[in-house]
Amino acid sequence: MLERLIAYLDSIKERDPAPRTRWEVLLYPGVWALGYHRVAHWLFEADLFFLARLVNHFSRMVTGIDIHPGARIGRNFFIDHGFTVIGETAHIGDNVTIYQCVTLGGTNPTNGVGGKRHPTIEDDVIIGSGAQVIGPITVGRRARIGANAVVTDEVPEGATMIGLKARSTLMPAEEWMREFMPYGTPCDDPCEPSRDGVERLESELAALRAEIADLRAAQQAADPQQPTQRSGTAD
């Protein structure tokens, strides 16, 4: 038991450079929320639903994290900062990292039968801040969900999802092979296709400004008596 706890705390230290010691990690709300969830899930599996909900509500009150007692969570699960909601039929694999304000939400069944309503998150997935993963979909192993992405479709293994509605973006192999990537997306990758267009427009604008400056200089050299053009209104 103690060895498993130490291994869990060490797994968090590997993903978060902030804590200096394991004692600091023990104060993390995500650690406490997971501990309360283990108790609540045990009660839920024993059909003690009211007691399970009671533990869940207390956990939400003291940690700001709402994990339904029915959710199934694997090893080394890390919620960084908190304010996360995880639904009843969510399945979470091993070594999953979730940042703040994430929702693993469910769909509203039209047939009145609950069933599987929430996502399945496979091993080694990273979900960035503010992301919403909705419905009984599967997020494949080693996938990354970018900040504020809204995911409602299946996510292939190793994909990086960005945007609203989320779409997959290709990632270099050296990035994909990294064991951990903070916030789910590489900071130096041009994740948004529009970024290339903006950079191209900025380059063209700079070239036009340089060309205008050259034309003004040539015009001034040809007719030194002509006043230099000034921007703005006349006095």
Q: How would you label 44-71 residue by residue, b for 16+ Cβ within 10 Å and e otherwise?
A: beeeeeebbeebbeebeeebbbbbbbbb
Provide the pairing of β-strand 160-162 with 138-139: unpaired
Say what angle helices 29-45 and 49-63 make with each other, to 10 degrees: 170
User: Among 3.40.190.10, 3.20.20.70, 3.90.1150.10, 2.160.10.10, what is the CATH number of 2-190?
Assistant: 2.160.10.10
Residue 152 has pLDDT above 50, yes or no: yes
- Domain residue limits, the chain: 2-190, 192-224
Q: What's the pLDDT score for residue 233?
A: 45
Question: What's the pLDDT tens digit per position in 178-191?
Answer: 666 665 666 554 45
Mean pLDDT for 113-119 is: 82
Question: What's the pLDDT tens digit per position in 75-92?
Answer: 999 999 889 999 999 999
pLDDT band at 197 (very low <50, low <70, confident <90, very high): low
Token pair 């040809």 is at which residue?
A: 222
Residue 113 has pLDDT above 70, yes or no: no
Provide the pairing of β-strand 144-145 with 126-127: parallel
Average pLDDT in the chain:
85
Selection from 126, 164, 159 nearest residue 148 by Cα: 164
As a residue count, the chain comes to: 235
Say what angle helices 2-15 and 29-45 make with each other, to 10 degrees: 130
Q: What's the pLDDT score for residue 219?
A: 83
From the CA atom positions of the chain, what is the Rg in Å?
A: 26
Q: What's the pLDDT score for residue 115?
A: 83
